[in-house]
Structure 1
Amino acid sequence: MRTKEERDAVNLEWARFFYECGIPLNAVNSRQFEIAIEATTQYSSGYKPPTYHELREPLLEKVVKETDDLRKRHEDAWKQYGYTLMSDGWTDRRGHHLINFLVNSPEGTFFLESIDASSEVHDQVMLANLLEKRISDIGVDKVVQVVTDNGANYKAAGKLLMERFPTLYWTSCAAYCLDLMLEDIGKLKSFKKPISRARHVTTFIYRHGRLLSAMREKTCGRDLMRPAATRFATTFLTLQSLHKHIDALRYLFTSDDWTSCKLAKTEAGKKFDWWRAYGGRSIDLQRVAKRIVSLCASSSGCEHNWSTFEFIHTKKRNRLEHKRLNDLIYVAYNRKMTSRFKNAVRKRVKAMIL
């Protein structure tokens, strides 16, 4: 039986490894981390960890083959329910244009591959040919629809595919369409001014450290959603966030912390007099914001996959060969999605039992 001091010493070594290598601390919650630790302890003393070369080539190849086996269960679902082919593009840090291909079914989402299309002209024929190849590889009889963004080239490619395969439908990404709709809604006269004011509020608060600290004190440490430059849905999420914390923000801008602050006497600070009336004058805007942000708009899993790319394809690792990058994404994304799907099923079964 090991002592507590011995365990603490081992934990300290693991902690140093995590801190020095910048590994996210939530990695310890991974089931695979537990399995790796258990396998190491069963090996007992004398175990030598894998070398850089082993991790880079032979071990990666083995895990890719293991991940191929996960696809078989998805293929059974594709055969039974049909599938949706999803595609989206992304430009990496070195300017390479990558195109992702994923397949969705009731079994979950499976990442097929990414290709480097930097040297290609991204017209409808090229995109339609790429999508057709994946459809043919999986099975034309199983495809139900193809989902892409709403770009002109993808729309034209979708029409070509429907001509080539009369049994499938092309569908634009719901999240992308909603984003464009929200952009147009935000330009309407009755919404434009309140949205501009909401942007001003969040920008002003987050530019001043003492005011931000006071706000977090009033909101119990919670932050406001801030608008993004390219995602117009975040504008309405900002409005929802402001409405959620309206009492705390009203209290902030009528408190001694604010009235005694020099910022309150500046031209920018005086504009916050509108805050008291915000909840009453923008009933229509609140109603629209609540309805829109409450919609369940299912988007393709492609965009979620780019976060996996960003995590692996960092500034320090931007010279990865495309095949190795593709293999790493193939393993990481599909194994993670499989684990999440199993956990979701387990929770549903547990709820039914209870």
Structure 2
Amino acid sequence: MLGPGVVCDHLVVEFLLVSLVLALPSYTSPGGQPQIRAAMTSKDMLYHAQKQVGKWFYDACIPFNAANSFQFQAMTDAIASIGPGFKMPSYHQLRGKILQDIVKEVSEHCDELKLCWKETGCSIMSDGWTDTRSRTLVNFLVYCPKGTMFLKSLDLSDVPKTAEILFNVFDNVVQEVGPANIVQFITDNAANYRAVGDLLFQKYRTFYWSPCTTHCVNLMLQDLNEMHDMKSAIDQCQEVTKFIYNHAYVLSLMRKFTKGVELIRPAQTRFATNVLTVQSVVKQRTPLRQMFASEEWAAYPHAHKRNASLVVDIIFNNLFWESCVKLLKVCVPLVKVLRLADSEDRPSIGYLYEAMDKAKEAIRDNLKEKKKLYMSIWKIIDKRWTGQLHQPLHAVAYYLNPAIRFSPTFKDREVMHGLLDCINVLVEDSTEQDAVHNELDLYDSCFRNMGLPAAVRAKTTMRPDLWWNRYEFDCPNLARFAVKVLSQTCSASGCERNWSVFQHIHNKKRNRLEHKRLNDLVFVRYNMRLKQRELEKSLARKHTSQFDPINLENFDDLEPWIEEEPATIFDDEDLECFNLEVEATEGFVDEGESATAGAGAEYVGEDLPILDDEEEEEDEDEDDEDYE
């Protein structure tokens, strides 16, 4: 059994599992057939072994889902292969040599991932965060179609965040990744980051700075939700949810009438959750009205107090429901764009232009094509799109995506200007630039292989970058250029997801971790699962008849925004119908989805420590040793 100094944390369990696997092979896969020796063991002995595992879980306060770790069974096999008397690694071994060795092993796998950067290009993503000790940390991740790799984290607490200083920091990262491998550097839209992007472009002129799409769309939603009627709807929905969840009797009564379905509560970190809150309240409109008109509510001693009467008035106010419906008609199409940009399963840059067009068209159709209503909405969207989000790289990806280029909805617009600019920036050799220009006509005319029936069908059933890889024979130079562009993401939201790993490691129980060790823990935790995700994707492909492209339909399931799961990719064929049909008597998520989403929504916004109801007797002493 581990000594009393062992860190009681789910992450330490994973390091322990991996460290044991380094030396010994795994003999039994989770869920696989037991070996003869194990099968012949008595049930009492097997159960005794399982209880010992359980006792350690309970004593160390390890969450149950740690048993789902990819390394859990491998650790058990490694221990069993040695036999009784195996001495578990100590506290100091786990935080020292073992951690360093695992960092080296994970780095070797990351080196294999880096090999694809030369072929597909990559996107550097950066975002900042302030930890519990008020240190300013900046994450750097690198995206390519094979996965998002955590590169490193830097502590910039002791330097001013001016463009000149940040430029030196970011320039070192560019040199580490390799300027020739980079297609774009993605950050948020802060003025200093934008200035750094301009300085990087002036120095290299071989890649772009791009604003984070999810950040820009969030700002669009924020601007829209500041409109008077929408702000009023959000404020009233918040009043309803706050009242219900702050009164135990009312909360129990609501669960009875909604049959266990929770109301989604707004989170502090993602502005789109305001839309989800409204959506959930609209879905439960009938149960909420029945609850506040019931005898159980009448029997509630505080039913006639001012705040209770205010909520009742909101629930029975038809103007409130009309404003909620209008908000959803306007905002849900943009939430679909947000989900598209937030996905890491497929490169999404080739669909952003079309997605924004479809979102605007959906808003127009939802408002019954009344210019007086939708033009003011369009102006707000266009202000952010033109001023921040519109980039040459997005225009080129729109043109090079065969599913869109040869669709009836394709619009030439300013695409050619962005295309010429991108060829000049991303293709350094002048001879190759000329070859790319010459091959554009072959692409436009679907010359030879690109015009085959199979190639035409594959335009809407394959990822755009994979389509170019398969049908590149007649346009090899243009194909290399297209693969680099279409293999990129358009959002830095992977950085935000990585902050949850930081918060899990660097919480109030472990707030004295020095930055070097914190960086190594996150590096191992994040990148250790890259290979696992690759295996899961390959298994998923075996059960799928074809690669499914990102589609601009059926984004109505918004549950991943609540439970932080990867956004799904959809497999319908055409790129129309960004419409949202909204009726006053119907909701927008079916009941099963609402139940799942609401269950996790109450605590969105912050990764809570594993132990939040009692204090440990001893704190870790993480800052008394140098970590080399």
Q: Percent identity?
A: 40
SS of corresponding position for 2:116: helix
Match of 1:62 in 2: 101
Change in 2 beyond 3 A, CA 1:314/1:134: same
SS of corresponding position for 1:262: coil
Displacement of 1:88 in angstroms is 0.8
Change in 2 beyond 3 A, CA 1:27/1:230: closer
| Counterpart check, 1:340 vs 2:533 | yes
The match for 1:134 among 165, 169, 173 is: 173
SS of corresponding position for 2:260: coil
Partners of 2:324 and 2:290 in 1: CA distance: 19
Q: 1:307 corresponds to which letter in structure 2?
A: S
SS of corresponding position for 1:227: coil
CA contact (8 A) 1:183 1:232 kept: yes
Change in 2 beyond 3 A, CA 1:265/1:351: same
Please list, as runs of the form range in 1=range in 2, the aligned pairs for 1:176-191 lying within 5 A after superposition.
176-191=215-230
User: Which digits, 9 at most, give the CA deviation of each residue in 1:267-288, with x for residues without a partner?
Assistant: 2222223323243454321212
Match of 2:354 in 1: none
SS of corresponding position for 1:129: helix
CA contact (8 A) 1:103 1:111 kept: yes
Please list, as runs of the form range in 1=range in 2, the aligned pairs for 1:186-205 lying within 5 A after superposition.
186-205=225-244
Greater helix proportion: 1
The match for 1:312 among 505, 509, 514 is: 505
| Counterpart check, 1:285 vs 2:327 | yes
Match of 2:42 in 1: 3
Please list, as runs of the form range in 1=range in 2, the aligned pairs for 1:109-188 lying within 5 A after superposition.
109-188=148-227
CA contact (8 A) 2:282 2:324 kept: no
Q: 2:524 corresponds to which letter in structure 1?
A: V
Partners of 2:260 and 2:105 in 1: CA distance: 44
The match for 1:104 among 143, 146, 161 is: 143
- Higher RCO structure, 1 or 2 (CA under 8 Å, sep 6+): 2
Partners of 1:204 and 1:337 in 2: CA distance: 43
Question: Runs ≥4 in structure 1, deviation > 4 angstroms?
Answer: none
Which piece of structure 1 moves more, 4-13 or 184-193? 4-13
Change in 2 beyond 3 A, CA 1:70/1:142: same
CA contact (8 A) 1:239 1:289 kept: no
Q: 1:175 corresponds to which letter in structure 2?
A: T
Partners of 2:541 and 2:190 in 1: CA distance: 38
Q: 2:276 corresponds to which letter in structure 1?
A: L
Match of 1:224 in 2: 263
Match of 1:273 in 2: 313
Partners of 1:228 and 1:177 in 2: CA distance: 18
Partners of 1:327 and 1:117 in 2: CA distance: 17
| Counterpart check, 1:207 vs 2:207 | no
Flag the structure with larger Rg: 2
How much is the aligned-residue C-alpha RMSD, in angstroms? 1.8
Match of 2:127 in 1: 88
CA contact (8 A) 2:125 2:186 kept: yes
| Counterpart check, 1:31 vs 2:224 | no
User: Which digits, 9 at most, give the CA deviation of each residue in 1:299-352, with x for residues without a partner?
Assistant: 421111111111111222222221111111110011124323321331122223
| Counterpart check, 1:349 vs 2:542 | yes
Match of 2:496 in 1: 303
SS of corresponding position for 1:352: coil
Which piece of structure 1 moves more, 58-67 or 163-172? 163-172
Report the TM-score when normalising by structure 1: 0.94
User: Which digits, 9 at most, give the CA deviation of each residue in 1:62-95, with x for residues without a partner?
Assistant: 1111101111232122111000001111111112
5+ residue gaps, structure 2: 1-39, 343-490, 547-628
Match of 2:297 in 1: 258
Count of residue pairs the alignment pairs up: 353
Greater strand proportion: 1
5+ residue gaps, structure 1: none
SS of corresponding position for 1:226: coil
| Counterpart check, 1:14 vs 2:56 | no
Q: 2:263 corresponds to which letter in structure 1?
A: L
Partners of 2:512 and 2:214 in 1: CA distance: 32
Report the TM-score when normalising by structure 2: 0.54
Partners of 1:132 and 1:332 in 2: CA distance: 26
Change in 2 beyond 3 A, CA 1:36/1:252: same
Displacement of 1:222 in angstroms is 2.9
Q: 1:92 corresponds to which letter in structure 2?
A: D
Q: 1:55 corresponds to which letter in structure 2?
A: L
CA contact (8 A) 1:237 1:289 kept: no
